[in-house]
A and B are shown apart, each in its own frame.
Chain A
Amino acid sequence: MLEDDLRQIMADETARLRAAPDLVDRVIRSSRRRRTVRTRYVAVVAAAAVVGITIPTGLTLASGPAAVSGPAAAVVSPDTTGSAVPQPFEPPPLPTPSPTLDFGDLGDGKAFGRVKVGYLPDGLQWSHRSSDWGDAYTTSWNYDGDKNGFYCVQIFVQEGQAAQRSREAVQSYRDKSDGEEATIGDRTGYLVTQWVGEDGGKGTPTMFLDMGPERMAEIMFSPVFVKDLGTREAVERELKKIAEGLTATDGDPGTTSEAPAADGGDEGKDAEAPAGG
């Protein structure tokens, strides 16, 4: 039987694999380091707040020291004579993922990471699932809020270097003349149907939203949800409305311009039903 043969092939293919002897050490070290880095970051932000220093946007968005951009910052501390002496500012490797690699309970799910969702189609609830990889994070919504249910709408946010990868993906679609440019309020987007491995579907309509130099968002509809929306026009309309309402919450000037709700009446409608439902 094919199934038995598959088992044999898979066994042959994986026979050479062995877990590294230092795997346990690496896991424990990494887990502890994440906790430490997070604690350090909180301390740095608190200290910066005390001395009135603004941490450059680039620092809060970059995935590591190599990605740091923005003006050089300095922590000012008094020397022995009492005068202020600028000290080199050592940026922590930020942002770090949350300790659990997800965001925990997000309520209606509309505020996650460093963004806020202003509009969702009717009938959707937060799926109770999220992932946080630090410079990229995501959550989704579906009909029943079931953690194990299929998603209807999923939003990925990518920051710093991760955002650059997202831009490269858009450029790749552009190069192939796959998809189309979109205007989202005063921001730009790119609408394309991606093939992201959805079994049996016709692809995943996606709106790439440029949220500033350090941030990109991908708003995706599952093929199941696309069917329910019915028409291509409805799909595009809803994608654009979500994109218009998606804003940053961390003060990044390139991403906080609150776009008006599409059709002018969705804010109220959305407020009545959590997560658009």
Chain B
Amino acid sequence: MIGPDDDGFAAFVAARGTSLLRVAYLACGDDRDAEDLLQTALERTYRKWDRVRHDNPEPYVRRIIVNTAISRARRRAILRILPTHTPPELPVRETDVDLRHVLMDALRALPPRQRAVVVLRYWEDLGETQTAEILGCSAGTVKSQASKALTKLRSALGAESVEGLIRNVHA
């Protein structure tokens, strides 16, 4: 099925597929959407592999994933499912799993671009400039969006400090 010309692409996917799937999941917040997002991004990359493979293809794929996630969210596919109009209700925090869900729900409830900033900055550990390049905005915008996102995450989790809650989870 895979010819010699595809070897490099296959090796790339084998090496980075899982990492990219995780980015896709964090960008869109859903397992199945993440798989679809990744496949879409890889298909686009495959079609341009001759050009892309000479550079580092991973940023190229990541850019497609994040921007496609934002674009799809804007098409309401995700926003119809997620309670983005209002902060998520606070569940009863009985277990560590509950708490993690609270934070992940809060992350999903962020506007797509803010969510992308959080994923790129704090998951991918990209700098503000790199994040700005991927999202097609200024570094200042990245900074302000990150700040707003963190404020919303704190707010969504209620009066208690996020740091304290999370420390309890890992205690």
To the question of whether A and B form a pair in one complex, the answer is yes
Which residues of B are found within 8 Å of A5, using beta-carbon distances? Answer: 162-163, 166-167
In the complex, which of the residues B2, B76, B166 contacts A196, with contact meaning CB atoms closer than 8 Å?
B76
Which residues of B are found within 8 Å of A1, using beta-carbon distances? Answer: 163
For the complex, is B154 an interface residue (Cβ under 8 Å from A)? Answer: yes
Closest beta carbon of chain B to A195's beta carbon, Å: 6
Which residues of B are found within 8 Å of A31, using beta-carbon distances? Answer: 43, 46-47
Establish whether residues B71 and A199, one from each chain, have CB atoms under 8 Å apart when the complex forms: no
Q: A1-B163, A23-B42, A101-B44 are in contact. Are A17 and B13 (CB under 8 A)?
A: no
Closest beta carbon of chain B to A53's beta carbon, Å: 32
Q: Which of A8-16, A72-80, A87-95, A103-111 contacts B (4 or more CB under 8 A)?
A: A8-16
For the complex, is A29 an interface residue (Cβ under 8 Å from B)? Answer: yes
What's the tally of chain B residues with a CB closer than 8 Å to chain A? 61
For the complex, is B170 an interface residue (Cβ under 8 Å from A)? Answer: yes
CA distance A156 to B77 in the complex (A): 13
CA distance A221 to B153 in the complex (A): 28
Which residues of A are found within 8 Å of B85, using beta-carbon distances? Answer: 195
Closest beta carbon of chain A to B58's beta carbon, Å: 13
Establish whether residues B111 and A9, one from each chain, have CB atoms under 8 Å apart when the complex forms: no
Q: Which of A41-49, A143-151, A230-238 contacts B (4 or more CB under 8 A)?
A: A143-151
CA distance A6 to B20 in the complex (A): 18
Which residues of B are found within 8 Å of A194, using beta-carbon distances? Answer: 76
Q: A24-B9, A28-B6, A199-B111 are in contact. Are A8 and B170 (CB under 8 A)?
A: yes
Residue among A8, A9, A14, A195 with max Cβ neighbours from chain B (10 Å): A9
Closest beta carbon of chain A to B169's beta carbon, Å: 8
Establish whether residues A27 and B103, one from each chain, have CB atoms under 8 Å apart when the complex forms: no
For the complex, is B118 an interface residue (Cβ under 8 Å from A)? Answer: yes
In the complex, which of the residues A9, A100, A148 contacts B47, with contact meaning CB atoms closer than 8 Å?
A100
For the complex, is B34 an interface residue (Cβ under 8 Å from A)? Answer: yes
Determine the interface band of chain A, counting residues with CB < 8 A from chain B.
35 or more
What 0/1 pattern do residues 14 to 47 of B give for CB contact below 8 A with A? 1001101110011000010011001110111011
Which residues of B are found within 8 Å of A85, using beta-carbon distances? Answer: none
Which residues of A are found within 8 Å of B127, using beta-carbon distances? Answer: none
Q: A23-B39, A147-B136 are in contact. Are A17 and B44 (CB under 8 A)?
A: no
Establish whether residues B25 and A14, one from each chain, have CB atoms under 8 Å apart when the complex forms: yes
CA distance A25 to B137 in the complex (A): 35
Closest beta carbon of chain A to B70's beta carbon, Å: 8
CA distance A148 to B138 in the complex (A): 10
Which A-chain residue is minimally distant from B14 (CB atoms)?
A24
What 0/1 pattern do residues 74 to 104 of B give for CB contact below 8 A with A? 1110011000110000000000000010011
In the complex, which of the residues B6, B43, B122 contacts A6, with contact meaning CB atoms closer than 8 Å?
B122
Closest beta carbon of chain A to B106's beta carbon, Å: 10
Which A-chain residue is minimally distant from B170 (CB atoms)?
A8
CA distance A13 to B103 in the complex (A): 10
Establish whether residues B42 and A27, one from each chain, have CB atoms under 8 Å apart when the complex forms: yes
CA distance A169 to B34 in the complex (A): 23
CA distance A18 to B16 in the complex (A): 10
Which B-chain residue is minimally distant from A146 (CB atoms)?
B136
CA distance A196 to B71 in the complex (A): 10
Which residues of B are found within 8 Å of A156, using beta-carbon distances? Answer: 75
Which residues of A are found within 8 Å of B126, using beta-carbon distances? Answer: none
Establish whether residues A199 and B46, one from each chain, have CB atoms under 8 Å apart when the complex forms: no
Which A-chain residue is minimally distant from B45 (CB atoms)?
A27
Instruction: List 12 interface pairs A-B (beta carbons < 8 Å), by A numbering.
Output: A2-B150, A2-B153, A2-B154, A6-B118, A6-B153, A7-B123, A9-B166, A18-B18, A34-B43, A156-B75, A197-B74, A198-B113
Chain A residues in the interface with B (C-beta under 8 A):
1-3, 5-14, 17-20, 23-31, 34, 99-101, 131, 136, 138, 147-150, 156, 169, 194-200
Q: Which 5 A-B pairs have the closest CB atoms?
A: A19-B17, A148-B136, A14-B22, A5-B166, A197-B111
